[in-house]
Homo-oligomer: A and B are copies of this chain.
Amino acid sequence: MPMHIQQIRDFPLFSGFEPVWEPLLPQLSVKRFAKDETIAHHGAMAGAVWLVLAGWVSLVRNTPDGRESIVGLCGAGELFGEAALFEHATYPYNALVVQADTELAIIPADVIRRAVAADPQLAHHIMQELNARVAHAQLKLEQMSTLSAPQRIGCFLLRFCPLHKGDACTVAIPIEKHLVASYLGMKPETLSRGFQQLTAIGVRVRGAEIEVGSIVKLREYVCGSCGESGLCATEEELRDTVSQPRP
């Protein structure tokens, strides 16, 4: 059996749903991409759903007057290109590889559409996934007004904290700082200022890496102002791994 099939089974998105996805797995193809390759074009007919196996992909949109915004950042185990589920639908963004040797599984549009039409359980699982995406995007919108810039940066950092290695950690952010700023909807200078403010709770930028002195402290600082506190995916994982009382 190809190695990627076992890898896919282990992703949280699929684990527990093996019977639903199993028939699709042999129909996937796997491809490796170089940094800066554009793998899907905004406005082009959506020909496939993509699953990140390794590396990072950013979802980027351009405005008519030349601005750029990152509407998504997908790491291992995450899907993009769901537009391919629907006939005549186009990709609503460019998908751009932002890390070298990014590996993607490709699910052709006709394969996923046929499977969804034939299996209500698969349809149900995809609905759940889409609903989670709506919730995630709404949460990000909420955070634009309820969290300060340093808190939003902190929330972003928590996503990258390795959660099984104690309270302190060093985080490698897969994309450049100006892209982080765009993803967080802030100016690069606001990002720099935000990182400076985070030094007070033990966060330090060391070149391309970021030292987090205490995940617990960072969490208290961020999540106490977030409507999703204790319910978001990052928080769920933290609860299971950082053995500290919740604030």
Q: How many residues of A contact B (CB 8 A)?
A: 48
Q: Quick check: is A226 within 8 A (CB to CB) of the other chain?
A: yes
Nearest residue, chain B, Cβ from A143: B69
Specify how many copies of this chain sit in the oligomer: 2
B138 touches A92 (CB 8 A): yes
Nearest residue, chain B, Cβ from A135: B92
Q: Quick check: is A41 within 8 A (CB to CB) of the other chain?
A: no
A145 touches B65 (CB 8 A): no
Minimum Cβ distance to chain B for residue A138 (Å): 4
Q: Quick check: is A159 within 8 A (CB to CB) of the other chain?
A: no
Given contacts A123-B124, A127-B130, A141-B141, contact A65 B185 (CB under 8 A): no
A153 to B216 alpha-carbon distance, docked (Å): 38
Q: Give the residue of B42, B120, B227 whose beta carbon is less than 8 angstroms from that of A116.
A: B120
Per-position 1/0 for A117-138, Cβ under 8 A of B? 1101001101110110111011
Q: Give the residue of B64, B138, B140, B146 whose beta carbon is less than 8 angstroms from that of A63.
A: B146
Q: Which residues of A contact B (CB under 8 A)?
A: 42, 61-65, 67, 69, 71-72, 82-83, 85-86, 89, 92-93, 116-118, 120, 123-124, 126-128, 130-131, 133-135, 137-138, 140-142, 144-146, 182, 185-186, 223-227, 229
